[in-house]
């Protein structure tokens, strides 16, 4: 690969696209661009990898949705 200063715009875009396809993905829940290494692999359903913040929200919401226990005051 040539040094970045020697690339023209088209080549830079090409390299960036390559980099993104290898290192980044879009979270299917919030549509945010995330790094593959920061993505969290879900062990269920078909969405696959999601961002860590969506994963955290899911983890928090799930027990509530599943148990639906009455609120205590
Ligand atoms: Zn997300």
Task: Write the pLDDT tens digit of every residue in 28-57.
Answer: 999 999 999 999 988 766 678 999 999 999
**Residue 51, domain member (yes or no):** yes
Domain contains 24: yes
Ligand 1 center to 50 CA (angstroms):
6
- At 60 the pLDDT is 87
Tell me the residue range of the domain where 31 lies: 8-67
- pTM of the complete model beyond 0.85: no
Q: Measure 53 CA to ligand 1 centroid, in angstroms.
A: 6
Alpha-carbon distance of 73 to 67, in angstroms, equals 17
CA of 58 to the centre of ligand 1 (A): 10
Does residue 28 lie within any of the structural domains?
A: yes
Q: What is the mean pLDDT of the chain?
A: 84
Residues 1 and 12 sit within 8 Å (Cβ to Cβ): no
- For position 58, what pLDDT does the model report? 85
| Distance set, CA 62 to CA 28, 31, 55, 58 (Å) | 18, 21, 11, 6
Structurally, how many domains does the chain consist of? 1
Does residue 72 belong to any structural domain of this protein? no
What is the CA(31)–ligand 1 centre distance, in A? 6
């Amino acid at each position: 690969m040539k040094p970045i200063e020697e690339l023209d715009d088209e080549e830079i875009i090409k390299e960036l696209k390559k980099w993104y396809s290898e290192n980044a993905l879009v979270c299917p829940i919030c549509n945010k661009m995330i790094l593959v290494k920061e993505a969290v692999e879900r062990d269920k359903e078909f969405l696959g990898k999601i961002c860590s913040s969506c994963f955290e929200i899911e983890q928090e919401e799930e027990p509530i949705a599943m148990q639906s226990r009455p609120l205590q005051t």
